[in-house]
Amino acid sequence: MYLHADLMARAAASKPVRVLLIGAGKFGSMFLSQVPTTPGLVVTAIADLRPDAAKAACRTVGWPEDLVAATRFTDDAAAAIAADDVDVVVEATGHPPAGVRHARLAFAQGKHVVMVNVEADVLAGPLLAREAASAGTVYSMAYGDQPALTCELVDWARCCGFEVVAAGKGTKYLPAYHASTPDTVWDHYGLTAAQAEAAGMNSKMFNSFLDGTKSALEMAAIANACALSPPSDGLAFPPCGMDDLAHVLRPRDVGGQLECKGQVEVVSSLERDGRPVFKDLRWGVYVVLEAPNAYAADCFRQYGMNTDASGRYSAMFKPFHLIGLELNISVLSAGLLGKPTGATRDFRGDVVATAKSDLAAGTVLDGEGGATVWGKLIPAVRSLEMGALPIGLAQGVRLNHAVAAGQSLTWSDVAFDAADDTVQVRREMETQFRQAFRAAAE
């Protein structure tokens, strides 16, 4: 209510929150669909590699012609960021190097950034967060996407005095999906390639969701925002429904499947034999919490909470998320309150490129959602120790030698351009945190 009241005050004063959207794909289009019915918010410009397609997207989601005519459409994101009529930059390209570049340009111009681009956030978010703080700007996760919604549940639990045992989301998962490629992905979705093409569905994007990469990226983002731990050797994806969260997602020493308290994990909507999980959480997010005392545990029971057998562990969850339809919350929180809806604070989790099959020397990696590698979540300290290649930079680089299926790649495995701006940003961040990890260990 407080946010809406502030928004209405800005609308009444004819001082709207002014937004630049970079990337008018599916997420961006869902956000755009809400703009005509949100007084006090205006999209002054949309930057996209295909400005005409962005304009068509606005018409598709219901924009009246006068609103289309009043909006600038451009393929020059840098110029759009520098414009005087922008308060908040929404980065929704999904392209890691572009996301890093756009965020840094925005901070330099004193603009807030809502980073829909989780790929960019996991690649360099800890460094970007420091730059945003130095610039006095907001660097925020995107409300509506699962990381920000999970962070909200974690924040709720901690503010209520509960210890967070686990946090994460649901997805559709089977172990075989790690080998999925853009050529096989539609078989798992029950579609033909022709049907997917007719619907405008991007095979690499959907494959990233299926092969585990997107889940790893989102859990890394949550770990880095909420000071939670990634599993030591990748997500386990345990099959689990809403009623069983508190039973499955508790530490192993009390009968659960977690390595430790305070861990991120993704639950599968499929049993390992392919049967659907009862009351699955495929589209939702959750937090598992522990009662701090016997009285609180009694209250869980008295008020019908879904607990484990001991009654001490319980779960709160949100079964759905509305993607870009909810993004206004982040935009307005940044523009009106100067606060993020979830933000990277540390480097706890990293996502490393891992071979989907035996790869020959000279193979050119095709990045997230491609046929060559998938992204595996591991602790950041381990990633730095092994010199791991982040999934966000595993696009268009050539292998120096053969790599076996299941092997996580390192910088030394590929021929990379050390002069590339994004590579330099990532390497700078690695140096900063490697030194911090060593100092903490001494």
Please give the model's pTM, rounded to 2 decimal places.
0.96
Q: Among candidates 225, 28, 20, 45, which has minimal Cα distance to 106? A: 20
Mean pLDDT to the nearest integer, 232-243: 98
191 confidence band (pLDDT: 50, 70, 90): confident
300 confidence band (pLDDT: 50, 70, 90): very high
The strand pair at 373-379 and 349-355 is best described as antiparallel
7 assigned to some structural domain? yes
383: domain CATH number? 3.90.1210.10
Distances in whole angstroms, Cα of residue 66 to Cα of each of 58, 70, 141, 194:
11, 6, 31, 36
> Is 128 found in the same domain as 15?
yes
Q: Is the pLDDT at 197 greater than 70, yes or no?
A: yes
Q: How far apart are CA 90 and CA 101, in angstroms?
A: 13
Amino acid at the residue 234: G
The strand pair at 72-74 and 41-47 is best described as parallel
11 assigned to some structural domain? yes
Which of 3-17, 101-115, 192-206, 371-385 has the lowest average pLDDT? 192-206
**Residue 422, pLDDT score:** 97
203 assigned to some structural domain? no
**Residue 250, pLDDT score:** 97
Q: How many other CB atoms sit within 10 Å of the CB of residue 85?
A: 12
pLDDT tens digit sequence for 357-416: 999 999 999 999 999 999 999 999 999 999 999 999 999 999 999 999 999 999 999 999
For residue 238, the SS3 value is coil
Q: Is the pLDDT at 194 greater than 90, yes or no?
A: no
Contacts of 179-183 with C-beta under 8 Å, sequence gap 24+, read 179/211, 179/356, 179/357, 180/207, 180/210, 180/211, 181/207, 181/356, 181/370, 181/371, 182/207, 182/369, 182/370, 182/371, 183/371
Backbone angles phi, psi at 44, to 5 degrees: -80, -30
Q: CA torsion 363→366→369→372, rounded to 10°? A: 0
> Is 310 found in the same domain as 329?
no
Enclosing domain of residue 422: 349-441
Number of structural domains the chain divides into: 3
> Is 71 found in the same domain as 139?
yes
Q: Is the pLDDT at 1 greater than 70, yes or no?
A: no
> Is 299 found in the same domain as 331?
no
pLDDT tens digit sequence for 310-354: 999 999 999 999 999 999 999 999 999 999 999 999 999 999 999
394 assigned to some structural domain? yes
